[in-house]
Protein backbone atom coordinates (compact mmCIF):
# COMPACT_ATOMS: atom_id res chain seq x y z
CA UNK A 1 0.00 0.00 0.00
CA UNK A 2 1.15 3.55 -0.77
CA UNK A 3 0.15 5.79 2.05
CA UNK A 4 0.06 9.49 1.73
CA UNK A 5 -1.94 12.58 1.10
CA UNK A 6 -2.95 14.24 -2.12
CA UNK A 7 -2.78 17.99 -1.76
CA UNK A 8 -4.60 18.73 -4.98
CA UNK A 9 -8.08 20.14 -4.40
CA UNK A 10 -10.82 18.04 -6.01
CA UNK A 11 -8.57 15.03 -6.65
CA UNK A 12 -10.70 11.91 -6.20
CA UNK A 13 -7.81 9.51 -5.58
CA UNK A 14 -9.16 8.74 -2.13
CA UNK A 15 -12.42 7.49 -3.59
CA UNK A 16 -11.35 6.04 -6.88
CA UNK A 17 -7.74 5.06 -6.34
CA UNK A 18 -7.07 6.92 -9.59
CA UNK A 19 -4.87 10.00 -9.68
CA UNK A 20 -6.63 13.08 -11.10
CA UNK A 21 -3.56 13.74 -13.24
CA UNK A 22 -3.48 10.13 -14.45
CA UNK A 23 -0.21 9.13 -12.78
CA UNK A 24 -0.12 5.33 -12.56
CA UNK A 25 2.59 5.62 -9.93
CA UNK A 26 1.32 8.06 -7.32
CA UNK A 27 4.85 8.88 -6.24
CA UNK A 28 5.29 10.63 -9.59
CA UNK A 29 2.38 13.01 -9.01
CA UNK A 30 3.70 16.38 -7.80
CA UNK A 31 0.67 16.78 -5.50
CA UNK A 32 1.06 13.44 -3.72
CA UNK A 33 2.90 13.47 -0.39
CA UNK A 34 3.85 10.06 0.87
CA UNK A 35 3.69 9.42 4.60
CA UNK A 36 2.33 7.04 7.18
CA UNK A 37 0.46 9.47 9.43
CA UNK A 38 -2.86 8.17 10.66
CA UNK A 39 -5.91 9.41 8.86
CA UNK A 40 -4.22 10.15 5.54
CA UNK A 41 -5.49 8.83 2.25
CA UNK A 42 -4.53 5.22 1.77
CA UNK A 43 -4.36 4.03 -1.80
CA UNK A 44 -2.95 0.85 -3.28
CA UNK A 45 0.64 0.98 -4.50
CA UNK A 46 -0.09 -1.42 -7.30
CA UNK A 47 -3.52 -1.87 -8.79
CA UNK A 48 -4.43 -5.54 -9.06
CA UNK A 49 -7.27 -5.86 -11.57
CA UNK A 50 -10.15 -6.57 -9.23
CA UNK A 51 -8.80 -5.06 -6.03
CA UNK A 52 -10.94 -2.49 -4.27
CA UNK A 53 -8.74 0.32 -2.98
CA UNK A 54 -8.60 0.60 0.76
CA UNK A 55 -9.79 4.08 1.56
CA UNK A 56 -9.36 6.10 4.67
CA UNK A 57 -10.25 9.77 4.50
CA UNK A 58 -9.65 12.27 7.19
CA UNK A 59 -10.41 15.96 7.45
CA UNK A 60 -7.49 16.30 9.84
CA UNK A 61 -5.24 18.05 7.28
CA UNK A 62 -5.71 21.77 7.40
CA UNK A 63 -6.83 23.46 4.19
CA UNK A 64 -7.55 20.16 2.53
CA UNK A 65 -11.04 19.30 1.30
CA UNK A 66 -12.13 16.41 -0.89
CA UNK A 67 -14.95 17.34 -3.23
CA UNK A 68 -15.81 13.81 -4.11
CA UNK A 69 -17.60 13.82 -7.42
CA UNK A 70 -18.54 17.49 -7.33
CA UNK A 71 -18.30 19.83 -10.30
CA UNK A 72 -14.83 20.53 -11.68
CA UNK A 73 -13.32 23.97 -12.02
CA UNK A 74 -11.91 24.93 -15.41
CA UNK A 75 -8.31 24.46 -14.25
CA UNK A 76 -9.08 21.01 -12.81
CA UNK A 77 -10.89 20.00 -15.96
CA UNK A 78 -7.99 20.98 -18.14
CA UNK A 79 -5.66 18.97 -15.94
CA UNK A 80 -7.95 15.97 -16.06
CA UNK A 81 -7.77 16.11 -19.80
CA UNK A 82 -4.03 16.56 -19.96
CA UNK A 83 -3.80 12.80 -20.51
CA UNK A 84 -6.53 12.61 -23.15
CA UNK A 85 -8.59 15.06 -25.13
CA UNK A 86 -11.68 16.46 -23.40
CA UNK A 87 -14.58 17.83 -25.40
CA UNK A 88 -15.70 21.09 -23.83
CA UNK A 89 -19.35 21.76 -24.58
CA UNK A 90 -21.13 24.95 -23.49
CA UNK A 91 -24.73 24.20 -22.48
CA UNK A 92 -26.24 27.67 -22.58
CA UNK A 93 -29.63 29.33 -22.48
CA UNK A 94 -31.97 31.55 -20.50
CA UNK A 95 -33.21 30.68 -17.01
CA UNK A 96 -35.71 27.79 -17.22
CA UNK A 97 -34.74 26.92 -20.77
CA UNK A 98 -34.09 23.37 -19.51
CA UNK A 99 -30.28 23.21 -19.20
CA UNK A 100 -30.15 21.28 -15.93
CA UNK A 101 -32.87 18.88 -17.11
CA UNK A 102 -30.93 18.30 -20.34
CA UNK A 103 -27.81 17.36 -18.35
CA UNK A 104 -29.81 15.15 -15.97
CA UNK A 105 -31.50 13.39 -18.86
CA UNK A 106 -28.12 12.73 -20.46
CA UNK A 107 -26.73 11.41 -17.18
CA UNK A 108 -29.73 9.16 -16.49
CA UNK A 109 -29.53 7.70 -20.00
CA UNK A 110 -25.80 7.11 -19.63
CA UNK A 111 -25.90 5.64 -16.14
CA UNK A 112 -29.03 3.61 -16.96
CA UNK A 113 -27.42 2.03 -20.01
CA UNK A 114 -29.87 3.52 -22.50
CA UNK A 115 -27.56 5.62 -24.65
CA UNK A 116 -28.08 4.94 -28.35
CA UNK A 117 -25.76 2.31 -29.83
CA UNK A 118 -22.81 2.16 -30.00
CA UNK A 119 -22.30 4.42 -26.96
CA UNK A 120 -21.90 3.32 -23.39
CA UNK A 121 -21.28 5.11 -20.08
CA UNK A 122 -17.58 5.04 -19.20
CA UNK A 123 -17.57 6.93 -15.90
CA UNK A 124 -17.76 10.40 -14.45
CA UNK A 125 -15.62 12.46 -12.12
CA UNK A 126 -18.69 14.45 -11.13
CA UNK A 127 -21.15 11.72 -10.21
CA UNK A 128 -22.29 13.52 -7.10
CA UNK A 129 -22.99 16.70 -9.05
CA UNK A 130 -25.11 14.75 -11.54
CA UNK A 131 -26.90 12.91 -8.73
CA UNK A 132 -27.67 16.20 -6.98
CA UNK A 133 -29.29 17.47 -10.16
CA UNK A 134 -31.23 14.29 -10.80
CA UNK A 135 -32.62 14.08 -7.27
CA UNK A 136 -35.89 15.88 -8.03
CA UNK A 137 -36.47 13.59 -10.97
CA UNK A 138 -36.57 10.52 -8.77
CA UNK A 139 -39.55 11.89 -6.82
CA UNK A 140 -42.38 10.96 -9.12
CA UNK A 141 -45.79 11.30 -7.53
CA UNK A 142 -48.65 9.20 -8.90
CA UNK A 143 -46.72 8.57 -12.12
CA UNK A 144 -46.56 12.30 -12.81
CA UNK A 145 -43.38 14.33 -13.13
CA UNK A 146 -43.24 17.24 -10.68
CA UNK A 147 -43.71 20.69 -12.23
CA UNK A 148 -40.28 21.82 -11.19
CA UNK A 149 -37.90 19.12 -12.31
CA UNK A 150 -34.60 20.62 -11.22
CA UNK A 151 -33.38 22.99 -8.55
CA UNK A 152 -32.22 26.40 -9.65
CA UNK A 153 -28.53 26.16 -10.54
CA UNK A 154 -26.25 27.86 -8.05
CA UNK A 155 -22.48 27.91 -8.50
CA UNK A 156 -20.15 27.39 -5.55
CA UNK A 157 -18.14 30.36 -6.87
CA UNK A 158 -20.56 32.63 -8.75
CA UNK A 159 -17.73 34.04 -10.91
CA UNK A 160 -16.27 30.72 -12.02
CA UNK A 161 -17.98 28.27 -14.35
CA UNK A 162 -18.18 24.72 -13.12
CA UNK A 163 -18.09 21.69 -15.35
CA UNK A 164 -19.66 18.27 -15.28
CA UNK A 165 -17.58 15.36 -16.54
CA UNK A 166 -19.10 12.42 -18.38
CA UNK A 167 -17.08 9.80 -20.22
CA UNK A 168 -18.67 7.68 -22.91
CA UNK A 169 -17.21 4.88 -24.96
CA UNK A 170 -18.11 3.25 -28.24
CA UNK A 171 -18.86 -0.47 -27.98
CA UNK A 172 -18.05 -1.11 -31.64
CA UNK A 173 -14.67 -2.06 -33.06
CA UNK A 174 -13.37 1.52 -32.87
CA UNK A 175 -13.97 1.71 -29.09
CA UNK A 176 -13.29 5.42 -29.06
CA UNK A 177 -13.66 7.15 -25.71
CA UNK A 178 -15.00 10.69 -25.35
CA UNK A 179 -14.52 12.72 -22.19
CA UNK A 180 -17.25 15.34 -22.15
CA UNK A 181 -16.92 18.49 -20.07
CA UNK A 182 -20.31 20.14 -19.92
CA UNK A 183 -21.20 23.49 -18.38
CA UNK A 184 -24.24 24.03 -16.18
CA UNK A 185 -24.34 27.78 -15.76
CA UNK A 186 -27.14 29.65 -14.05
CA UNK A 187 -29.43 31.50 -16.48
CA UNK A 188 -28.35 34.80 -14.88
CA UNK A 189 -25.06 34.47 -16.70
CA UNK A 190 -26.95 34.62 -19.97
CA UNK A 191 -29.08 37.53 -18.75
CA UNK A 192 -25.97 39.45 -17.67
CA UNK A 193 -24.20 38.95 -20.97
CA UNK A 194 -27.28 40.07 -22.88
CA UNK A 195 -27.36 43.27 -20.82
CA UNK A 196 -23.67 44.12 -20.61
CA UNK A 197 -20.71 43.32 -22.82
CA UNK A 198 -18.30 43.46 -19.88
CA UNK A 199 -19.70 40.14 -18.67
CA UNK A 200 -18.01 38.53 -21.67
CA UNK A 201 -14.98 37.84 -19.46
CA UNK A 202 -16.85 35.08 -17.59
CA UNK A 203 -17.52 33.24 -20.85
CA UNK A 204 -13.95 33.41 -22.14
CA UNK A 205 -13.34 29.72 -21.40
CA UNK A 206 -15.70 29.02 -24.31
CA UNK A 207 -13.04 30.22 -26.73
CA UNK A 208 -11.75 26.65 -26.65
CA UNK A 209 -15.19 25.02 -26.75
CA UNK A 210 -15.76 22.12 -29.13
CA UNK A 211 -19.39 23.02 -29.44
CA UNK A 212 -22.21 25.09 -28.01
CA UNK A 213 -25.65 23.72 -27.31
CA UNK A 214 -27.98 26.69 -27.07
CA UNK A 215 -31.22 25.71 -25.39
CA UNK A 216 -34.38 27.62 -26.18
CA UNK A 217 -37.77 26.87 -24.66
CA UNK A 218 -39.96 25.53 -27.47
CA UNK A 219 -43.17 26.61 -25.74
CA UNK A 220 -41.88 30.19 -25.64
CA UNK A 221 -40.86 30.08 -29.29
CA UNK A 222 -44.42 29.02 -30.14
CA UNK A 223 -46.04 31.64 -27.92
CA UNK A 224 -47.43 34.78 -29.57
CA UNK A 225 -46.68 36.84 -26.48
CA UNK A 226 -43.16 35.58 -25.63
CA UNK A 227 -41.68 34.56 -28.97
CA UNK A 228 -40.32 37.92 -30.12
CA UNK A 229 -38.70 38.81 -26.80
CA UNK A 230 -36.95 35.43 -26.43
CA UNK A 231 -35.76 35.45 -30.02
CA UNK A 232 -34.35 38.95 -29.61
CA UNK A 233 -32.58 37.96 -26.36
CA UNK A 234 -30.99 34.97 -28.08
CA UNK A 235 -29.89 37.18 -30.97
CA UNK A 236 -28.17 39.59 -28.57
CA UNK A 237 -26.68 36.69 -26.64
CA UNK A 238 -25.20 34.91 -29.65
CA UNK A 239 -23.93 38.19 -31.05
CA UNK A 240 -22.10 38.80 -27.76
CA UNK A 241 -20.65 35.27 -27.89
CA UNK A 242 -19.40 36.02 -31.38
CA UNK A 243 -18.11 39.56 -31.00
CA UNK A 244 -17.35 40.10 -27.29
CA UNK A 245 -16.43 36.59 -26.11
CA UNK A 246 -14.83 35.86 -29.49
CA UNK A 247 -15.94 32.25 -29.68
CA UNK A 248 -14.11 30.73 -32.62
CA UNK A 249 -16.22 30.78 -35.78
CA UNK A 250 -15.64 27.09 -36.43
CA UNK A 251 -17.42 26.14 -33.18
CA UNK A 252 -20.61 24.28 -34.09
CA UNK A 253 -23.86 25.56 -32.55
CA UNK A 254 -26.81 23.31 -31.89
CA UNK A 255 -30.05 25.23 -31.34
CA UNK A 256 -31.85 22.78 -29.07
CA UNK A 257 -35.59 23.37 -28.89
CA UNK A 258 -36.49 22.12 -25.40
CA UNK A 259 -39.87 21.00 -24.00
CA UNK A 260 -40.80 19.92 -27.51
CA UNK A 261 -43.14 17.31 -25.98
CA UNK A 262 -45.41 20.28 -25.22
CA UNK A 263 -45.40 21.52 -28.82
CA UNK A 264 -45.98 18.17 -30.53
CA UNK A 265 -42.30 17.98 -31.55
CA UNK A 266 -42.86 20.71 -34.13
CA UNK A 267 -39.88 22.86 -35.05
CA UNK A 268 -40.96 26.47 -34.30
CA UNK A 269 -40.30 28.87 -37.20
CA UNK A 270 -38.61 31.18 -34.66
CA UNK A 271 -36.02 28.42 -34.01
CA UNK A 272 -35.22 28.35 -37.73
CA UNK A 273 -34.86 32.15 -37.66
CA UNK A 274 -32.42 31.86 -34.74
CA UNK A 275 -30.48 29.10 -36.49
CA UNK A 276 -30.14 31.30 -39.58
CA UNK A 277 -29.08 34.24 -37.44
CA UNK A 278 -26.33 32.18 -35.74
CA UNK A 279 -25.19 30.87 -39.12
CA UNK A 280 -25.14 34.49 -40.31
CA UNK A 281 -22.69 35.29 -37.48
CA UNK A 282 -20.35 32.76 -39.09
CA UNK A 283 -20.97 29.68 -36.93
CA UNK A 284 -21.93 26.27 -38.32
CA UNK A 285 -25.47 25.96 -36.94
CA UNK A 286 -28.18 23.35 -36.80
CA UNK A 287 -31.42 22.84 -34.88
CA UNK A 288 -32.80 19.82 -33.02
CA UNK A 289 -36.11 19.23 -31.18
CA UNK A 290 -35.70 17.77 -27.71
CA UNK A 291 -37.70 16.49 -24.74
CA UNK A 292 -35.38 15.80 -21.82
CA UNK A 293 -38.29 14.68 -19.63
CA UNK A 294 -41.46 14.26 -21.59
CA UNK A 295 -44.77 15.06 -19.99
CA UNK A 296 -46.37 12.86 -22.65
CA UNK A 297 -44.08 9.82 -22.46
CA UNK A 298 -46.57 7.57 -24.22
CA UNK A 299 -46.32 9.80 -27.31
CA UNK A 300 -42.86 11.39 -27.06
CA UNK A 301 -40.02 9.55 -25.37
CA UNK A 302 -38.03 11.23 -22.62
CA UNK A 303 -34.51 11.90 -23.77
CA UNK A 304 -35.52 12.61 -27.36
CA UNK A 305 -32.92 14.81 -29.05
CA UNK A 306 -30.61 14.90 -26.02
CA UNK A 307 -27.88 12.60 -27.23
CA UNK A 308 -28.32 13.78 -30.82
CA UNK A 309 -27.15 17.21 -29.66
CA UNK A 310 -24.01 15.70 -28.12
CA UNK A 311 -23.35 13.44 -31.09
CA UNK A 312 -23.74 16.36 -33.47
CA UNK A 313 -21.00 18.25 -31.63
CA UNK A 314 -18.72 15.21 -31.39
CA UNK A 315 -19.00 14.32 -35.04
CA UNK A 316 -18.71 17.85 -36.39
CA UNK A 317 -15.78 18.20 -38.76
CA UNK A 318 -14.79 21.69 -39.82
CA UNK A 319 -14.45 22.13 -43.52
CA UNK A 320 -10.94 22.94 -44.67
CA UNK A 321 -12.07 25.79 -46.90
CA UNK A 322 -14.25 27.54 -44.34
CA UNK A 323 -14.23 31.30 -44.23
CA UNK A 324 -15.17 33.31 -41.16
CA UNK A 325 -17.72 35.34 -43.02
CA UNK A 326 -19.41 32.33 -44.59
CA UNK A 327 -22.97 31.67 -43.56
CA UNK A 328 -23.20 28.00 -42.66
CA UNK A 329 -25.75 25.48 -41.57
CA UNK A 330 -25.33 21.72 -41.27
CA UNK A 331 -27.45 18.65 -40.77
CA UNK A 332 -27.71 17.28 -37.21
CA UNK A 333 -26.45 13.85 -36.29
CA UNK A 334 -24.80 13.15 -39.64
CA UNK A 335 -21.28 11.77 -39.69
CA UNK A 336 -20.08 14.27 -42.21
CA UNK A 337 -21.49 17.71 -42.66
CA UNK A 338 -21.79 19.82 -45.71
CA UNK A 339 -21.33 23.53 -45.64
CA UNK A 340 -23.20 25.72 -47.98
CA UNK A 341 -23.66 29.42 -48.40
CA UNK A 342 -26.84 30.79 -46.83
Ligand X SMILES: Nc1nc2c(ncn2[C@@H]2O[C@H](COP(=O)(O)OP(=O)(O)O)[C@@H](O)[C@H]2O)c(=O)[nH]1
Cα–Cα distance list, 90 to 27, 216, 313 (Å): 35, 14, 11
Q: Which of 2, 23, 68, 96 binds ligand X (CB under 6 A)?
A: 96
The whole-angstrom separation of Cα 13 and Cα 16 is: 5
Q: Tell whether residue 87 is a contact of ligand X (CB under 6 A).
A: no
Decide if 33 contacts 4 (C-beta within 8 A): yes
Contacts of residue 300, defined as CB under 8 A and 6 or more positions apart, other chains included, come to: 260, 261, 265, 291, 294
Q: Which of 5, 12, 18, 100 binds ligand X (CB under 6 A)?
A: 100
Supply the DSSP string of 93-153, one letter for each residue.
ESTTSSHHHHHHHHHHHHHTT-SPTTEEE---S-HHHHHHHHGGGG--BTTBPPS--SPPP
Q: Which of 291, 309, 313, 314 binds ligand X (CB under 6 A)?
A: 291
Specify the residue, 191 or 244, whose C-beta has the smaller distance to ligand X.
191
Specify the residue, 210 or 261, whose C-beta has the smaller distance to ligand X.
261
The secondary structure element, H or E, covering residue 170 is strand 162-170
Q: Tell whether residue 100 is a contact of Mg ion (CB under 5 A).
A: yes
Decide if 280 contacts 238 (C-beta within 8 A): no
Binding positions for ligand X, 231-260, rule CB under 6 A? 258-259
Which partner in Mg ion, ligand X, none is near 137 (CB below 5 to 8 A by kind)? none
Contacts of residue 222, defined as CB under 8 A and 6 or more positions apart, other chains included, come to: 263, 266, 268, 270
DSSP 83: S
Specify the residue, 124 or 260, whose C-beta has the smaller distance to ligand X.
260
Q: Tell whether residue 97 is a contact of ligand X (CB under 6 A).
A: yes
Specify the residue, 180 or 285, whose C-beta has the smaller distance to Mg ion.
180
DSSP 42: E
Specify the residue, 102 or 178, whose C-beta has the smaller distance to ligand X.
102
Binding positions for ligand X, 167-226, rule CB under 6 A? 187
Q: Tell whether residue 295 is a contact of ligand X (CB under 6 A).
A: yes
Cα–Cα distance list, 114 to 36, 119, 292 (Å): 44, 9, 13
Neighbours of 144 (CB within 10 A): 8
Supply the DSSP string of 224-287, one letter for each residue.
TTTHHHHHHHHHHHHHHHHHTS---TTS-EEEEEE-GGGGTT---HHHHHHHHHHHHTT--EEE
CB of 136 to Mg ion, least distance (A): 11
Q: Which stretch binds ligand X (CB under 6 A): 65-73, 98-106, 224-232, 236-244?
A: 98-106
Specify the residue, 5 or 258, whose C-beta has the smaller distance to ligand X.
258
CB of 202 to ligand X, least distance (A): 17
Q: Which of 16, 81, 111, 153 binds Mg ion (CB under 5 A)?
A: 153
Decide if 137 contacts 303 (C-beta within 8 A): no
CB of 186 to ligand X, least distance (A): 7
Q: Which stretch binds ligand X (CB under 6 A): 42-50, 68-76, 145-153, 175-183?
A: 145-153
Q: Which of 76, 210, 261, 311 binds ligand X (CB under 6 A)?
A: 261
Q: Tell whether residue 149 is a contact of ligand X (CB under 6 A).
A: yes
Chain residues that interact with Mg ion, rule: CB under 5 A:
99-100, 153
Chain residues that interact with ligand X, rule: CB under 6 A:
93, 95-101, 147-150, 153, 187, 258-259, 261-262, 291-295
Amino acid sequence: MAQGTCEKPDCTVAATGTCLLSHANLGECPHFRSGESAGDVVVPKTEPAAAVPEIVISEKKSGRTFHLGAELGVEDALEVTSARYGHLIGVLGSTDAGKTCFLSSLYLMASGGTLPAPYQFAGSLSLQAFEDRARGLRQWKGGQLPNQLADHTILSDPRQPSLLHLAIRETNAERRRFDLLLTDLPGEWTDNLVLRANHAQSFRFLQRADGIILLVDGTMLMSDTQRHAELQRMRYFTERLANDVNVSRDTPFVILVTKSDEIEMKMPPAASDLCDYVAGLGFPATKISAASFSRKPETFKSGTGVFSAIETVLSYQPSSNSAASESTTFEPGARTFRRFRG
